[in-house]
């Protein structure tokens, strides 16, 4: 089985390097094809591994080679394929494969076609390293690797100029890329600290060693480690307050958004919490904090999605919101539910994004849903895909989202955290509303795009076919909940609803469903017949607050970026050049000007020289006389 591990892991790398070979040549379709094939290979290998793990119930643990060894630290390139990682691997490779194929069509006209595949495959490789690694350092490799790939891919259209935030909140792809990278770095520092804490207290970074040592550690240390690691997770999964980068990351090509900023990378944080569940199990206060933050973000993001006009940003907010759900589950101890939602979400969210990509492709990169409408005629399949995905997202049975999200909400109820439950339920309603607001505004109603002279057309056939696995999975994934449950709890702690909850399960489901359906209906009422703008509403404070993302980006710009730049300039111009350097030069000049002054004693006049001798003699005599008197 080891060779499948390596195939699964390295096929994307090979794909990336292969594409990189043609990175600077003009578009070559076969690059995309081969990359997709390699990704498919990786998916197959992952599937085989999944089957193997499912059958045997055991894990495959390989150590490729030693990486860093210094002092007592020993970090290998070790990979573990167990229930959790194999789930992730399968999801990642599946979505990746679809996205690769999709990209062949989507990036059709882009002159950096080959480069795109190189980056995309590199991302998959990093993600695989992230999920497969058997130690924290290896996780960190993947963690940073996906960060860089995300940077590359967000900034893929680097040649676009910077514009003002009013025109485009993300300013430019390169700006958004940098923002994403830097914000993630902030979180990575937390993660590093967490790693250090674990190393100095357990002497290793291997998951098994670390987790085995946890019972022997003091609570304070565990608390610190849990917090630090979670800070890392917050960055990657864009949790408040580090969330701003995710919406800006929509500057990247849409397949990228689908793969990285919806299905895989952003879930790494959740993955980390799930992976480190032994740690979080013993730190309930941290877990509770995670759950609360997750719930908050779920609501917070959903609220921003309500009013947004940007097709991709709406989906991005929804991703944020769903990540919140996952954290809520993980924080409440329902790790397997979190993982399940992660997987299900990956499918329907990727589908949603790819659908959005189709729309963009058709609309010549127009993203404002207020300028769309009535696309269902020309883009039937896309409408279906996006509808299905939105239904799944809204949690309408029997689609995947219903099962997973409902389980999370149930968990919140089960844990007795009623406030969380209420918020999550409300959020579910909001989710349904904004999803369908978007769908209706895009596909229903009058054809507003005509005013802009756009002639939309459906995506290539093969692309639509490639998307179908996701659509199918979005529909049916929910039915595998039970299987998944038995499979995953071999590794993860089991989480069952209590009797009490079982009692109310139908009621709870109904409430959630009611909210979801209510959201959809509301959306239909408001936007089903076309765009009716409500000036009063749009000018209200809340609307503006939401539209401006609670003014958080502006806050960051005004109170962090600008002061940072200002202080930096001040430090350079005032401190470094004025104070420090001037002091140094001043000391040198002191001697130089001292020389200029003292050379004046050298008048050239013999008389003054003789004077100096006389003075010298006198001073010496005087001091001699004084010192004899004193001494």
State in angstroms the smallest separation of the CB of 256 from other proteins.
16
CA-based nearest residue to 391, from 523, 246, 260, 258: 523
Q: Are 187 and 242 in contact (CB under 8 A)?
A: yes
Cβ-proximal residues to 196 (8 Å cutoff; 6+ apart), any chain? none
State in angstroms the smallest separation of the CB of 114 from other proteins.
11
State in angstroms the smallest separation of the CB of 259 from other proteins.
20
Own/partner pairs, 280-284, CB within 8 angstroms, 24+ separation: 280/226, 280/330, 280/331, 281/333, 281/493, 282/214, 282/215, 282/219, 282/222, 283/219, 283/222, 283/223, 283/226
Angle between helices 311-331 and 335-362 (to 10 degrees): 180
Closest to other proteins by CB, 198 vs 392, is 198
Q: Where are the alpha helices (DSSP H) in 133-267?
A: 136-154, 173-202, 207-213, 219-236, 244-248, 254-258
State in angstroms the smallest separation of the CB of 70 from other proteins.
4
Closest to other proteins by CB, 205 vs 259, is 205
State in angstroms the smallest separation of the CB of 147 from other proteins.
8
Surface-to-core class of residue 480, CB atoms within 10 Å of its CB (0-12 exposed, 13-18 middle, 19+ buried): middle
Task: Assign 3-class secondary structure to 198-230.
Answer: HHHHHCCCEHHHHHHHHHHCCHHHHHHHHHHHH
Closest to other proteins by CB, 102 vs 123, is 123
The alpha carbon dihedral of 22, 145, 291, 504 has a sign of positive
Closest to other proteins by CB, 114 vs 322, is 114
Distance CA 481, CA 486 (A): 9
State in angstroms the smallest separation of the CB of 359 from other proteins.
26
Q: Are 128 and 42 in contact (CB under 8 A)?
A: yes
Helix, strand, coil % over all residues of the chain, rounded to 5: 75, 5, 20
State in angstroms the smallest separation of the CB of 570 from other proteins.
8
State in angstroms the smallest separation of the CB of 134 from other proteins.
15
Closest to other proteins by CB, 418 vs 610, is 610
Indicate the helix (H) or strand (E) that contains 65.
Answer: strand 60-70
State in angstroms the smallest separation of the CB of 190 from other proteins.
9
3-state secondary structure of 69: strand
Closest to other proteins by CB, 53 vs 137, is 137
């Amino acid at each position: 089985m080891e060779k499948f591990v390596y195939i699964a892991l390295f096929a994307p790398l090979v794909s990336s390097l292969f594409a990189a070979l043609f990175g600077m040549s003009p578009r070559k379709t076969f690059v995309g094809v081969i990359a997709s094939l390699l990704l498919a290979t990786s998916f197959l290998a992952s599937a085989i591994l999944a089957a193997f793990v499912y059958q045997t119930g055991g894990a495959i643990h390989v150590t490729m080679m030693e990486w860093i060894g210094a002092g007592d630290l020993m970090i290998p390139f070790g990979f573990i394929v167990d229930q959790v990682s194999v789930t992730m691997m399968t999801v990642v490779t599946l979505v990746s494969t679809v996205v690769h194929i999709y990209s062949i069509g989507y990036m059709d006209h882009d002159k950096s076609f080959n480069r795109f595949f190189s980056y995309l495959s590199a991302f998959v490789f990093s993600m695989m390293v992230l999920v497969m690694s058997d130690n924290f350092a290896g996780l960190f490799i993947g963690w940073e690797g996906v960060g860089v790939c995300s940077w590359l891919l967000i900034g893929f259209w680097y040649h676009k100029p910077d514009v003002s935030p009013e025109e485009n909140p993300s300013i430019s792809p390169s700006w958004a890329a940098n923002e994403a990278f830097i914000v993630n770095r902030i979180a990575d520092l937390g993660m590093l600290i967490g790693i250090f804490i674990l190393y100095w207290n357990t002497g290793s970074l291997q998951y098994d060693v670390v987790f085995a040592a946890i019972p022997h550690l003091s609570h304070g240390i565990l608390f610190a480690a849990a917090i630090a690691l979670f800070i890392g997770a917050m960055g990657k999964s864009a949790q408040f307050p580090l969330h701003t980068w995710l919406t800006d990351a929509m500057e990247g090509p849409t397949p990228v958004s689908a793969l990285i900023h919806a299905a895989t990378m952003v879930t790494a944080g959740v993955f980390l919490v799930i992976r480190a569940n032994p740690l979080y199990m013993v730190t309930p206060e941290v877990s509770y904090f995670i759950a609360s933050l997750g719930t908050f973000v779920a609501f917070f993001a959903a609220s921003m999605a309500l009013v947004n006009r940007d097709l991709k940003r709406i989906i991005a907010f929804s991703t944020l919101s769903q990540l919140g759900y996952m954290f809520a589950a993980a924080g409440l101890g329902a790790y397997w539910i979190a993982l399940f939602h992660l997987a299900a979400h990956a499918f329907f969210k990727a589908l949603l994004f790819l659908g959005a990509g189709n729309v963009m492709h058709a609309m010549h990169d127009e993203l404002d849903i207020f300028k769309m409408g009535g696309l269902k005629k020309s883009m039937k399949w896309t409408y279906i895909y996006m509808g299905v995905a939105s239904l799944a997202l809204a949690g309408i049975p029997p689609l995947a989202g219903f099962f997973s999200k409902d389980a999370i909400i149930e968990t919140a109820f089960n844990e007795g955290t009623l406030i969380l439950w209420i918020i999550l339920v409300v959020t579910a309603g909001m989710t349904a509303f904004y999803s369908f607001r978007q769908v209706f505004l895009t596909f229903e109603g009058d054809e507003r795009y005509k005013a802009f002279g756009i002639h939309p057309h459906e995506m290539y056939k093969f692309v639509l076919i490639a998307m179908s696995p996701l659509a199918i999975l979005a529909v049916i994934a929910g039915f595998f909940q039970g299987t998944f449950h038995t499979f995953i709890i071999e590794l993860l702690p089991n989480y069952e609803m209590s009797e009490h909850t079982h009692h109310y399960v139908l009621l709870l489901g109904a409430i959630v469903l009611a909210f979801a359906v209510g959201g959809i209906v509301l959306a239909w009422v408001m936007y089903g017949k076309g765009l009716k703008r409500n000036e009063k509403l749009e000018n209200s404070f809340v609307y503006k607050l939401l539209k401006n993302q609670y003014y958080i980006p502006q806050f960051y710009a005004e109170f962090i970026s600008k002061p940072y730049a200002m202080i930096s300039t001040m430090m350079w111009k005032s401190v470094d050049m004025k104070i420090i350097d001037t002091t140094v030069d001043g000391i040198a000049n002191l001697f130089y000007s001292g020389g200029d002054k003292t050379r004046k004693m050298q008048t050239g006049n013999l008389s003054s020289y003789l004077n100096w001798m006389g003075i010298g003699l006198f001073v010496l005599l005087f001091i001699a006389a004084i010192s004899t008197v004193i001494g």
